Structure 1
């Protein structure tokens, strides 16, 4: 099933360029509105933890490369024996789609999300002053999320939806990539970078009016990436949902692990007051998450 609209080769490039231009303008506005005084970084690096995280990411990514080489492509006989009715009802509709142009568009939205943390870091002074910390955290996010996803993909060897589509040329189905559907790398990376960007921005600019814009923009791009991966016949719903969930967890978890545990902030979050009813006295406590 092909889409009813046409896209030129320059469309993805133009989309990325316009998105980055818009974000740079927004980031510069944030920079000009931020206070000039220095404030402590919301994150900190610890040598042992960073070695463990980077090492785990590198090992899983390296393992995925080796496992991928062991994947045998489907043969023509394998393809002929496939039956789309064996796919569960929730995922089956994906086998009706095939559109390489939309697949290229999903690359554009993915790459846009992936460069947003870099743009925000360079364009805003507080983040720029903390470039090393943000860079290490972002590398850990990308290595770990993609390493695990690629390893699972090489082990599961699930045929992509288009492999079941009789309208797709046979040569497209006889590649290693055609057997790497679960779970979606695009969804994983898109949501990992979206949540990472939004969480980091939130911590550096807790009072910024741009926080909702960053959240909606990054998650919107990630969602668009997933929609296009489905529409292009590259992934099933389940591939995308698992990828989005795992990517979001990593994108949130890496900054959380590095968050500075400032004991002074407890005083602002924990509110304790005395109370009296005339016949009894006590303390009222409220903890704000």
Structure 2
């Protein structure tokens, strides 16, 4: 219920006069999220992600698997010197472990989101941004694979089974989807955590943990004979760009110009009187 200005001033003066029984309260409130969602922006980002994912499916379906004759004619000496050593690798164990480390990054993000109150209270915003990150990263990365149709390193390795070499996936090397997703998730996690907790001493721990898992994913993909170094470097760079860019696009503007609003009201519990003050700190 709102009072007129004269009535409010009168009550304020009376409350100040009761100095022997007065109490003074300051209740700070920090309700602002470092990010904001806007319908138009989200529809655009999700739409681009959906379009690129659809395009990648169409491009992949047009890829013709290598024939045994084509495989037997491959020459690893035609690969550039920087990438050539990858053609000597083949490991199904490393392949499976790369899925584990990739999932580990997503688990880390989920644990931070659900395990910390500020992020948990803003879970919808974090979830929407992460979905946009993954949709865009995968849509573009897979579309590039469908266009380049680069043969994976293990196809040059006589140790690898022929049936693995004769799949569409065997021609989907550039650039690495695992590296893209791993670094997109790692950078997204680090960026989001530092914005919710700008003064936390755990920021280096989160960055080292997430980037360490992403790096391990890339190493395992190399050891498995699934990617060349250039595939992994390109995926890491592109994934990092998307993982940084999506949170950046959603940051609340003018965060450095913190505002303060002070609400002052008379207060009484029947036995004592005083002033109720609420200091609200906000970032826009």
TM-score normalised by the shorter chain: which range applies? Answer: 0.7 to 0.9
2:231 corresponds in structure 1 to: 239
**CA distances 1:96-129 after superposition (whole Å, capped 9, x unpaired):** 0000001100000001112322221111100011
Residue equivalent to 1:39: 31
The CA deviation string for residues 201-246 of structure 1, in whole angstroms up to 9 with x for no partner, is 0000001010000000000000000001001100000000000000
- Equivalents in 2 of 1:120, 1:263: separation in Å? 23
CA distance in 2, matches of 1:73, 1:264: 54
**Among 63, 73, 86, which residue is 1:94 paired with?**
86
2:199 is the alignment partner of 1:213 = no
Please report the TM-score for the alignment, with normalisation by the length of structure 2: 0.80
Could you list the runs of 5+ residues in structure 1 that have no partner in the other structure? 1-35, 268-289
Q: Show the counterpart of 1:162.
A: 154
The alpha carbon displacement at 1:86 in A equals: 0.5
Tell me the distance in 1 between the aligned counterparts of 2:86 and 2:199.
42
Q: Which residue of the partner structure matches residue 253 of structure 1?
A: 245
Which consecutive residues of structure 2, in runs of 5 or more, have no partner in the other structure? Answer: 1-27, 260-284
CA offsets 1:173-198 (integer angstroms, 9 cap, x no match): 00000000000000000000000000
Instruction: Tell me the CA shift for residue 262 of structure 1.
Output: 2.3
The Cα of 1:61 is off from its aligned counterpart by 0.6
**Cα separation, partners in 2 of 1:96 and 1:127, compared to 1, 3 Å:** same
Runs of 4+ in 1 over 2 A off after TM superposition: 36-39, 262-267
Provide the C-alpha distance between the structure 2 equivalents of 1:79 and 1:265, rounded to a whole number of angstroms.
62
Shift of 1:265: 2.8
Separation in 2, partners of 1:242, 1:219:
16
Deviation track 1:30-59 (CA, whole Å, cap 9, x = no partner) reads xxxxxx953310000111111000000011
- Structure with the larger RCO, 1 or 2 (CA within 8 Å, 6+ apart): 2
Provide the C-alpha distance between the structure 2 equivalents of 1:240 and 1:114, rounded to a whole number of angstroms: 19
Count, aligned residues: 232
Q: Tell me the equivalent position of 1:172.
A: 164
Question: Which one of 180, 189, 192 corresponds to residue 184 of structure 2?
Answer: 192
Identify the match of residue 125 of structure 2 among 133, 157, 160.
133
For residues 38 and 117 of structure 1, what CA distance do their matches in structure 2 show? 23
Question: In the alignment, does 2:72 pair up with 1:80?
Answer: yes
Q: Tell me how far apart the structure 1 counterparts of residues 113 and 43 of structure 2 sit (CA, whole Å).
A: 23
Matched, 1:61 2:53: yes
Could you say what secondary structure the match of 1:90 adopts?
helix
